[in-house]
Amino acid sequence: MKIKANTNFTGVDDYLFSHINNKVNEYLKDHKDAKIIRLGIGDVTKPLPKIVVDAMIKAANEMGVENTFRGYPPEHGYTFLKEAIRDYYKNFKVDLDLDTIFVSDGAKSDLGNILDILGDNKAYIPNPVYPVYLESNEMSGRTIEYVYGNEENHFVPLPSDSMSTGIIYLCSPNNPTGSVYSYEGLTKWVEFARKTGSLIIFDAAYEAFIVGDYPHSIYEIEGAKECAIEICSFSKQAGFTGVRCGYSIVPKELDANGYSLYKLWKRRQATKFNGVSYITQRAAEAALSEEGIKACQENIKYYRRNALLIKEVLDKKNIWHTGGDNSPYIWLKCPNNMKSWDFFDYLLDKANIVGTPGEGFGTSGTYFFRLTAFGSYENTIEACKRLEELL
Amino acid sequence: MKIKANTNFTGVDDYLFSHINNKVNEYLKDHKDAKIIRLGIGDVTKPLPKIVVDAMIKAANEMGVENTFRGYPPEHGYTFLKEAIRDYYKNFKVDLDLDTIFVSDGAKSDLGNILDILGDNKAYIPNPVYPVYLESNEMSGRTIEYVYGNEENHFVPLPSDSMSTGIIYLCSPNNPTGSVYSYEGLTKWVEFARKTGSLIIFDAAYEAFIVGDYPHSIYEIEGAKECAIEICSFSKQAGFTGVRCGYSIVPKELDANGYSLYKLWKRRQATKFNGVSYITQRAAEAALSEEGIKACQENIKYYRRNALLIKEVLDKKNIWHTGGDNSPYIWLKCPNNMKSWDFFDYLLDKANIVGTPGEGFGTSGTYFFRLTAFGSYENTIEACKRLEELL
């Protein structure tokens, strides 16, 4: 065909986790009996709480009966779910305008699609970080600058004088490093964004793992509604990776050179999205009920116990690491100055453990490695045994 | 903020159905007792077949149990559903490569997002047509040319010599006109696309309504895999407007100036999408089973009976119309040379019937109006009575 493709895709690497999957499958071809333990992809393993399953069954039954059947959902989410999200934010002393909550099929979709409403701005992307920020900016041909995390700043980098106006991505608790911004740290970012007229895109997908005194939402910081969009997900909070539900908060205060980002996102979603399944939204509502939050937190506690087990081994072996306390991720420095893909192969081959090479999240991860606490308790214990022997 | 917004949104109208909703709500404020019959938005009203509800309940229960719980779905869809879709296409004698079937949360999302993988091409958009094609092209700042439907071509326009290389949107059975392309008509489009190196985006959302000898899929036409993407949906076929599931077919043969559109879409979805709910995919699989298709076709028969009732009144009143035979939509010429928004107000006020003004689908609809067969049988009978009295 003579029609033009989007040539910006040329520079985009393979999707990290597809690449890892292919590598593991290759390995398995030659090692059919290997008892692989997967601590790689950040996917949950605990089943959904009963209250969530019950809500889905009730909703599914309603869809089978004439007078309770529901057709097109509101593009921006049912009010019952938006109210539940608004109430959840009251836990953090954040007041949300219902209109500004946009329910979606997940944070990944929103993180990719949000760029539709923005012009050609520079993007400031943490390095290392969740690859979707980088890739979606590459796909749209935007200029990218990195904000580097490292051992010195404990992978919670702050704004520097060399930065100017742009789209600033923040992820806290961070994927992959598990590090969390303090109130002071986030305040510096909000002040910087307001001074430079920048927009912060705050990814709060892991907020439910926070146990310490850290902000769960960027809107806990004064002035953030004038400079930040928050994107969140039920995936990690409620184990919804297979159910697909997330939301974005786009405050009415966000004025981009005379354009209301709230209005643009509302308009974007009306044309390019058609809302989330009624059944899914009822499930999300149940996950945010008092009983639901309690049940979800039980699962998170289970994962936290795994994280602490892994940290214990690393401590014993004097391996530098961060995360795990307020996050399902443990970010460790590869032993013996190994590079992360080498360590990936080493760990896969010698211990049959699949982790995620730090370099997959950016150059700053070249000598680092991510392990997740999402395995089963039994597998995590076994993995720790193997790590203890190997390292 | 100083950051730049996407200024292309400026020219985009309000979303049609939001605008209509607002108008109806305004009317209801002053006419609290009005017994409104909604034959406007193309939303289904029949409940989901039992086999579909049962599949959702089974899947929801699996999600509540440790060893049947499923996390992230494959970004491009579960194999069980792709196989069901492939088998469904065998009914039309179309062979699909499983890899080329991409499951999504609906045709609307895909129709909007597909532009992500394309460069700056001219878009040929039917007029009138479903507003999403126009709006998503406006939002991305593309040049738009219309392909006009009218009484003379019975709203199935064919390519003309003035057209050149571009993205060609086709919708058959058409929304809003209900008209359907013949094998000959579609063959002309495929030949034109191949001659000019154009890409066809074929929206087959209403194919399940076809009873006559018309193509259900563009791939029934020889050579279409080299020039066409097909986008389809369970919304109208299986009543999934509230469940959210669709799919796109992006053949490996599609080469855009050296770029494989298959590879680009696969890559796009890996970064900006995270797959469809397991529960939803099981529901879609059930809808495509033998029993599921039979149950879904029962609902479609119900809607068809409504369509025939509406057509009967229009025939009696000598009002020009098309559609209704292979489509849930009836497209009529407004009586007395009225403009469509005037007829909308007239119908709302005098008969308390909500329809959709043709102009909402493009200038070619200025003197036309869309009624849908998606109401209940009882409401459709009542609406027909009112129409017969009024017109």
DSSP A38-53: E--S----SPPPHHHH
3-class state of residue A19 by DSSP: helix
> Domain check: are A38 and A84 in the same one?
no
Using one digit for the tens of pLDDT, what is the confidence trace for B302-351?
999 999 999 999 999 999 999 999 999 999 999 999 999 999 999 999 99
> Domain check: are A248 and A317 in the same one?
no
Report the C-alpha gap between B95 and A221 in whole angstroms.
56
Report the C-alpha gap between A296 and B324 in whole angstroms.
49
Does A33 reside within a domain? yes
> Domain check: are A235 and A308 in the same one?
no
Domain end position, chosen among B235, B268, B288: B288
Q: How is residue A291 written in tokens?
A: 């009983």
Contact A113 B272 (CB under 8 A): yes
Contact B64 A47 (CB under 8 A): yes
> Domain check: are A249 and A360 in the same one?
no
Predicted TM-score (pTM) of the model is 0.97
> Domain check: are B169 and B197 in the same one?
yes
Report the C-alpha gap between A313 and B223 in whole angstroms.
60
Report the C-alpha gap between B115 and B352 in whole angstroms.
39
Nearest chain B residue to A196, by CA: B2
CB B251 within 8 A of CB B198: no
User: To the nearest whole angstrom, how far is the Cα of A22 from the nearest Cα of chain B?
Assistant: 14
Average pLDDT over residues B226-238: 97
DSSP summary character for residue A35: -
Reading chain A (391 residues) residue by residue, the pLDDT tens digits are 999 999 999 889 888 888 898 999 999 999 999 999 999 888 999 999 999 999 999 999 999 999 999 999 999 999 999 999 999 999 999 999 999 999 999 999 999 999 999 999 999 999 999 999 999 999 999 999 999 999 999 999 999 999 999 999 999 999 999 999 999 999 999 999 999 999 999 999 999 999 999 999 999 999 999 999 999 999 999 999 999 999 999 999 999 999 999 999 999 999 999 999 999 999 999 999 999 999 999 999 999 999 999 999 999 999 999 999 999 999 999 999 999 999 999 999 999 999 999 999 999 999 999 999 999 999 999 999 999 999 9
Q: What residues in B contact A2, CB-CB < 8 Å?
A: 165, 196-198, 257
Q: Tell me, what's the pLDDT at A20?
A: 92
Contact B132 A46 (CB under 8 A): no
> Domain check: are A23 and A56 in the same one?
no
Does B5 reside within a domain? no
> Domain check: are A78 and A205 in the same one?
yes
Using one digit for the tens of pLDDT, what is the confidence trace for A126-181?
999 999 999 999 999 999 999 999 999 999 999 999 999 999 999 999 999 999 99
Domain end position, chosen among A290, A308, A331: A290
Q: What residues in B contact A277, CB-CB < 8 Å?
A: 242-244, 277, 279-280
Q: Tell me, what's the pLDDT at B17?
A: 85
Contact A3 B256 (CB under 8 A): yes
Contact A47 B63 (CB under 8 A): yes
Which residues span the domain enclosing B37? 14-48+291-390
Average pLDDT over residues B106-129: 98
Q: Tell me, what's the pLDDT at A42?
A: 87
DSSP summary character for residue A22: H
Strands A228-233 and A246-249: antiparallel
> Domain check: are A269 and A322 in the same one?
no
Q: How is residue B8 written in tokens?
A: 């292309």
Using one digit for the tens of pLDDT, what is the confidence trace for B256-278?
999 999 999 999 999 999 999 99
* Of the partner residues A46, A57, A256, the one whose CB lies closest to the CB of residue B60: A57
- Indicate which CATH number applies to the domain containing B230: 3.40.640.10
* Of the partner residues B4, B49, B119, the one whose CB lies closest to the CB of residue A256: B4
Report the C-alpha gap between A329 and A308 in whole angstroms.
10
User: To the nearest whole angstrom, how far is the Cα of A226 from the nearest Cα of chain B?
Assistant: 8
> Domain check: are A285 and A295 in the same one?
no
In chain B, pLDDT over 70 holds for what percent of residues? 100
The closest alpha carbon to B70, from A33, A43, A286, A86, belongs to: A43
Contact B109 A257 (CB under 8 A): no
Does B2 reside within a domain? no
Q: Tokens 């919304």 map to which residue?
A: B235
Q: Tell me, what's the pLDDT at B352?
A: 97
Does A259 reside within a domain? yes
In sequence order, what are the residues at sequence separation of 6 or more whose Cβ sits closer than 8 angstroms to the Cβ of residue B299?
B44, B46, B49, B239
HEC string of chain B? CCCCECHHHHHCCCCHHHHHHHHHHHHHHHCCCCCCEECCCCCCCCCCCHHHHHHHHHHHHHCCCCCCCCCCCCCCCCHHHHHHHHHHHHCCCCCCCHHHEEEECCHHHHHHHHHHHECCCCEEEEECCCHHHHHHHHHCCCCEEEEECCCCCCCCCCCCCCCCCCEEEEECCCCCCCCCCCHHHHHHHHHHHHHHCCEEEEECCCHHHCCCCCCCCHHHCCCHHHCEEEEEECHHHHCCCCCCCEEEECCCCCEECCEEHHHHHHHHHHHHCCCCCHHHHHHHHHHCCHHHHHHHHHHHHHHHHHHHHHHHHHHHCCCCEEECCCCCEEEEECHHHCCHHHHHHHHHHHHCEECEEHHHHCHHHCCEEEEECCCCHHHHHHHHHHHHHHC
Predicted complex ipTM = 0.96
Contact B112 A273 (CB under 8 A): yes
The closest alpha carbon to A344, from A314, A365, A374, belongs to: A365
- Indicate which CATH number applies to the domain containing A17: 3.90.1150.10
Q: What residues in B contact A118, CB-CB < 8 Å?
A: 3-6
Domain end position, chosen among A266, A290, A314: A290
Q: Tell me, what's the pLDDT at B272?
A: 97
Does B167 reside within a domain? yes
Structural domains in chain B (count): 2
CB A360 within 8 A of CB A130: no
Does B7 reside within a domain? no
> Domain check: are A316 and A265 in the same one?
no
> Domain check: are B28 and B144 in the same one?
no
Contact A274 B106 (CB under 8 A): yes
Average pLDDT over residues B2-11: 94
In sequence order, what are the residues at sequence separation of 6 or more whose Cβ sits closer than 8 angstroms to the Cβ of residue A252?
A97, A99, A100, A260, A262
> Domain check: are A59 and A142 in the same one?
yes
Does B377 reside within a domain? yes
Q: How is residue A383 written in tokens?
A: 């993995």
The closest alpha carbon to A197, from A230, A226, A174, belongs to: A226
Does B6 reside within a domain? no
The total of other beta-carbon atoms located within 10 Å of residue A211's CB is: 13
Q: Tell me, what's the pLDDT at A291?
A: 98
Q: Tell me, what's the pLDDT at B16?
A: 87
